[in-house]
Every structure is written in structure tokens, then in C-alpha cells.
A and B are shown apart, each in its own frame.
Chain A
């Protein structure tokens, strides 16, 4: 598929939907499985609105249309040894950069390099009235106006349809080394807790099925020294990290119901009746199994975090908001989408 600018068509669709007060269901890559409530409304597809708009390798900044596949961007970046620092998952080949930003998805590097929103520099978008808007820019530092670009990140398109995004890039590290060792989850947590305060070239720390894996990246000499210090077996094949990133590990594939629990990284293991995968050096826990929703949410809240049901039957996949917070978010929704045209109800019934 070639590059194309569908901005004007998209705008016209939104203007019309706004006029009639009709909901639009925004679809980017289309096939990616994402948490979210079901949206009633006509489909608005962004998949064909694609193409890299600006990329000056010496700037380490890229601007691309929202429908550009993540894989296409990464292939281009690889030619200059650059990458997307937040490692968005590519569950499907068609996964788009707009989708990754709109749903704020980040991979295993997140605790060490930052989340999707940390790399977003600017967005071009269309709000629920059909107005084209530009926020942020393509420079690293920018405090002119409220940071609406980052607000859009994770809003699941409910505040604006992203047309293009500007993203800060990272150089690909010189070398990568994965270490693996057997241990129980409690011990894994202890090790992770001890790593956080040490200046190590870490880019991944995750535990699954009795194995703790650490990923080191950086200068060859630094990586090999850290590997010696940390111990464990070298894992020649780094595919596990890619499969973790893309949620293609059997753990994810086989899950009938899948919870994502975001926690303070030192929080105790969840100890619920489900298989658990610990990522983000303790801050992201995945649960596979039929666990009671109230129980998961209560446990997550008690530990200072929140839980999202990413797969499985539910009316409310996202953690409920306190009344004052929900009211504020509703007021923000009204700023950008007064007639609730964009993905109405996708995040919360009220948004």
C-alpha cells in the first residue's frame, strides 16, 4: 500500500458525524486486539492514511501519518540504526504508529527508557467537531501551551483522531545480551528491587514460569561487565523479548482472559489464582486465567495500582475512576468532543 493523505476525507466524515451527533468507531491497524469497551458507530478507518512525513536521522525525530505501520517505520529506522524507544507491541503486522500512541502501549524497555507518552513530541489531529489542530511540535523541549499531545496519548482516540505524530527516537544500542536464571516469583521480585537502584545498562527485566530474564543493552564493554556482575546464563536467542513485546508468547496466546495490572514496582506478587507474568521490572503484571474481576481490582487498588481486562468478557475493562476524577475527565472530553462522536464509550461509558 502506498502513502496517502486522507486527512481531508477523515475531517469530512467527522464534520458530518458531528452534525448528526453520530458516533464513529475509529480503526487504525484494525486487527490489533486492544482493551476497550465496544463502540457503537460507523467505522472510521485510518489504515490508509499513511507515510513517513519527516525523518532527519541527525535529529533523532520522526513524524509520520497515524496509519503508518510500526513495522514499516522500524524497517526504515533500522537503516540508520535508530529505533522507537518505547517498543510498541506489533501484535499484528498492520499495527500502526497512531494506534500505538492512541492506546499508549509500551514494551519491555518502558521502565528504563520511558513510555509511549515520553517519546511523543507533537500531534496533528482532528477533534470531535471536525477541527484540525496541531499541538506540540518536533523539537525536544517545548512548553508553549498545554501539553495536549501527551494528553492524546492513551486517550484511545476519544479526544481527537490522530492524523500524524512526531516522535523522539533512540539510537540502537551497540550490543544486546539476555540473561536467564531459574527462580521463584518472590525471589525474582527481590532481585528486581535490588537492580533498580544500580547503574546498570538494563533494558528489560521480566519473570515468567520460573525464569527471570534480564536484558542488557549498551556499549559492548559495559554490557559484558554487567553480565558478569549479574550472573545467570547467557541466552543466545533474544526472540523471547520480541515475543514478550508483541504479546506473542504462549502465555498471551493461550490466555482466555488476560489482565494487565500496573503496580508500584515493589508491590508484592499478586498471588491470585492465575498464571502471572511480571514485566517492567515489577511494575506491570499480566494475569492469565479466570479470576474474579472485583478481586483483581481490589487487590490492584490495595497495592496502589490499577487493573485492565485486556481479553475476556466484560462491560468495563478499565479500572473505575473516582467520581471527582471522572467528572473532570468528562469535562475534558466535552472540550474536544462535545457531541461524543469519537469512539464514544470506548474508555468509559461516560466518556
Chain B
């Protein structure tokens, strides 16, 4: 199959000055940024280890302006990278050196909330939390709640298929989006999904979720809203080892209980979060579980009792039920600020995102501990335990020569182990630029070829967010990344260099 190689910048590299002049002619004053100081805030997303300035940043306000930008860039062969709030953790919104960064942040209007259908139609730049705030007067909310929800945009959520602490029971972004309006790179507008339960033909809405801005620019999203459960109870349990806590998680799932959230932190993360948020965590614990149960009063009470006895049987050293709403929110605040809290422990940290079968939690945590001491790099674990989505945070100092490389190597070993136990290299943060190498661990050449071809079906010239999400076959064939299974090379047909 003849796939383009999107890791190379397209041949026609536009002259920056000409391009900016042409963009300014299309957009209102102030919508095109090009001076180095204007570009600087946009040179990275939430993964600041990768930085790149684009030729220009454009900040359109309406669909017609986005269309005009896309058409111009298509005609000039200029790559376009869409950006929402820039909180992504895999470099998905990292600008292209020879391209335009399309900032969707000004598409920040909630177009309508329909309390009878339980839906909201919003522009892509609307912040995740703003949707729930707009729905609150109707007793409704938007369920997926990434920890970044005060900042991240719904467009970015769709592009990454974002998850959150309540996704165990209520699903990921893909389960809570009904429709999306997108523009293809050539400016063509399409509606994927609809306000009904499904739409004819292939399920392109599912395909869009998690496509990391490679298939189309999202210009409108319709989400499903849920009735706010009348009761939510939060239970905190501590354990003397993460492995035991992991086993307790598996026992809750096995008992047929689906908590609204089931989160875990290890000792390092507990102490960091406590110092940062003063959530009231016991700082001597080796592991902590937060288990939230929601529903009607009756459901909560019944489930709470069952979970308490399971946790006790699983060896919990302390069990505490939040006495009131204030305590519940305080206990959550520690978990929700765990990343920045851990971030204070070292000059830099690197957040992993592997996902594994829940029954393997204990094994994987043990393996991470071994690797951590082998590499001499501390690892704090904060994660969505209920759905097996790990976030090991590797602490390092980018200022020390070679440490970033060793960190990345350790990270890749952790991901390789996730794949080995039947899991995946990314549960919710996406591949972006960061996990291109790790993708080679998970997929063979045939799947990767199909991914490139799917992109080509949407974007034949390969101009939309090129070089992200799917590695080239050549990259996977590179010796350093190569994984040899049973003596067989995974890409026998490809030249090696």
C-alpha cells in the first residue's frame, strides 16, 4: 500500500511571511499571530518536554473562518494542527514547524441545552466543566470528568476520547457524545452521528473519538447529559501495600459492583497530594483507595455496606466514609490535584498512561517498583484503578544529562509490560508524538498501514496534524524500537537502517 509518510513535513514549505499575509486577508484583525513572543505560549501542550513553534497561530471565531484557513492551507500544502485548551499529555497539539496552529479556544459558546432530550449542543472550545455547569439548573450533568476538566475543551476531549474518575460507571467520551460536526482538511463540512440513537452507514462518530485531530477539525459537539444522582457516598480505604489494594479493587469488580469511581494512589502520591491539597489523607499508608458509590439513597447505602465488607476482608487498614459533602469534595481534591502535587517533588515528571486488565494490577505495580529501583528514578502511582488505567508518574530532572532519555526508556519498559499482560500503551492520553515508538509494541505493520490509509480517506494530502498518533513503518523498523517476537522480525518487508 502506498501510504504517505506523515512524519516528514510536506514538500511545499510555505514562506511564513506570505502565508501570514494571506491568512490575515481571510481573518479579522488580531486573529493571526506570528511574532516569536506571540507564538511562545503555544509552543507546547501539557507535555512540555516537546516544544515547537509553528509558522503562525490562527484564532478563528466562526466555522467559515476555519473553512477559509483550511482551504488556504490545503491549496498551499501547509500542515494544520488543531488545538483546544492545550492540556493534552501526549503532544497531540504540538505545533508543526512548517504549519499553522489552529486554536479553537474562541469557539466557547454553549449553543443549547435540551432538558427533555438530555442533550447539550456546544462549540468545541467549551470547557468540559462549563457543560455541567450549564446543565446543573436542570439537575443534569456531563459525565466524563477528566482531572483537567476546569481547563480542557470538549473538542480536545472528543479528539482524545478523554476519560475521568467517573468513567467506570458512566463511560468515556465516546459513550457520551451523540454528534459532531467536523470539517475535513479540504473544508468540507460533515455531520457524524446525530440526535437520534444511531445514524445510517458506518459509525464514523466512534472513529472520530480518539482520532487526535488527524481526521477532521471538530466545530460542534452534541453531548448526552445525565440526571445528577441524588446521592453520592465516598469511601476512603488504606492498605499496607499497593498489591493488596489492587486485589481489593479486583474483588469489588468481581462482586458485580460498579462504583461511580474507584481510584488509587500509592504512598509517594498520597504524601504529595496531602502536602499539596490537605485533603486529610493518612500519610503513613502505602496505598489508598477512593471508592465512590452513587445512585438513589437506597442503592448507595446497600452498596456501601457491601464495599466496606469487601475492603475489610481485603485487608484495609483504615476505612472512612466521608461524613458530608464538604468532606467528600475535600477527599476528591487530593486525588484531582495529584499530578501537580507530585510535580512538586522533582524538577520534572513524566506521566504514563498504560491500561491493563484489572486482575493484573498487583503484578504490574510490583514490576513498576522493580523497574523504578533499577533505573534509580522514583515512580508515583495515581490511577483509575477501577478501569485498570495506570498513571505512573516518573520523577526526574531534565537538567541532568541523559535523565530524560532514561526516563523515556523506563516509561517504555512499563508500557511494554502493560502490553505483555494484555493491556495497552495508552488508556486516555493518546499517542500524540510521545508514544509513537510505543505504538510499535502494540501493533504490527498491517494494522499500522490500515491506520494510515484511514487517515488518507479523510485527508488525502496528509496535512491535518501530520506525524502524530500513528508511527511510520520505517520508524517501527528502526533497530532501537524493534521488538523481536520468537526470533521473527515484525516488519520483514522493510529496509532497516
Residues of A at the B interface (CB closer than 8 Å) are 56-61, 81-82, 104, 110-111, 114-115, 117-118, 127, 131-135, 137-148, 150-151, 153-155, 159, 170-172, 193-194, 196-201, 218-219, 221-222, 225-226, 262-266, 280, 283-284, 304-306, 308, 318-321, 324-326, 328-329, 331-332, 334-336, 347-348, 351
Contacts and interface: CB of A to CB of B under 8 A. Distances in A.
Contact of B253 (A59, A111, A329): A59
Interface stretch (B101-109, B254-262, B486-494): B254-262
Contact of B171 (A60, A114, A150, A199): A114
Nearest to A82: B256
B207 A146 contact: yes
Nearest to B184: A328
Nearest to A300: B196
Given A118-B171, A336-B450, A171 B355 contact: no
19 contacts: A82-B256, A133-B447, A133-B450, A137-B422, A139-B356, A139-B387, A141-B172, A154-B202, A172-B256, A196-B117, A197-B140, A199-B229, A199-B296, A219-B298, A222-B302, A225-B296, A265-B197, A306-B196, A328-B204
B457 A61 contact: no
Nearest to B423: A139
Contacts of B453: 335
A151 B161 CA distance: 15
Contact of B161 (A60, A143, A283, A329): A143
Nearest to B301: A221
Interface in B465-480: 469-470
A144 B442 contact: yes
A235 B201 CA distance: 38
A171 B256 contact: yes
Residue of B117, B163, B295, B426 with most partner-chain A CB within 10 A: B117
Considering the complex of A and B, which 9 residue pairs feature the smallest CB-CB distances, nearest first? A171-B256, A58-B254, A150-B206, A221-B298, A141-B427, A331-B457, A264-B195, A140-B387, A305-B196
Interface in B348-362: 355-359
B470 A159 contact: no
Interface string B385-428: 00111000000000000000000000000000000001111111
A148 B454 contact: yes
A78 B357 CA distance: 22
Interface range on chain B: under 10, 10 to 19, 20 to 34, or 35 or more? 35 or more
A114 B115 CA distance: 20
A332 B161 contact: no
Nearest to B443: A145
Contact of A56 (B114, B195, B359): B359
Interface string B191-203: 0001111111111
Contacts of A335: 450, 453-454, 456-457
A326 B425 CA distance: 34
Interface in B308-326: none
Contacts of A153: 203, 206
Nearest to A320: B200
Contacts of B114: 266
B254 A57 contact: yes
B28 interface: no
B429 A143 contact: yes
B33 interface: no
A134 B447 contact: yes
Contact of A222 (B298, B355, B450, B457): B298
B207 A144 contact: no
Contacts of B174: 118, 147, 150
B196 A283 contact: yes
A208 to B, nearest CB: 18
B210 interface: yes
B384 A151 contact: no
B167 interface: yes
Given A145-B447, A266-B117, A197 B389 contact: no
Contacts of A115: 197-198
B447 A59 contact: no
A265 B117 contact: yes
Given A134-B443, A139-B356, A196-B116, 17 more contacts: A58-B251, A59-B359, A104-B198, A115-B197, A133-B450, A139-B387, A141-B167, A141-B427, A143-B426, A147-B161, A148-B451, A151-B206, A172-B256, A219-B302, A221-B298, A304-B196, A318-B200
Residue of A56, A142, A283, A321 with most partner-chain B CB within 10 A: A142
B428 A145 contact: no
A172 B257 CA distance: 10
Contacts of A280: 197
Contacts of B251: 58
B146 interface: no
B200 A144 contact: no
A320 B199 CA distance: 11
Contact of A141 (B163, B199, B256): B163
A110 B197 CA distance: 9
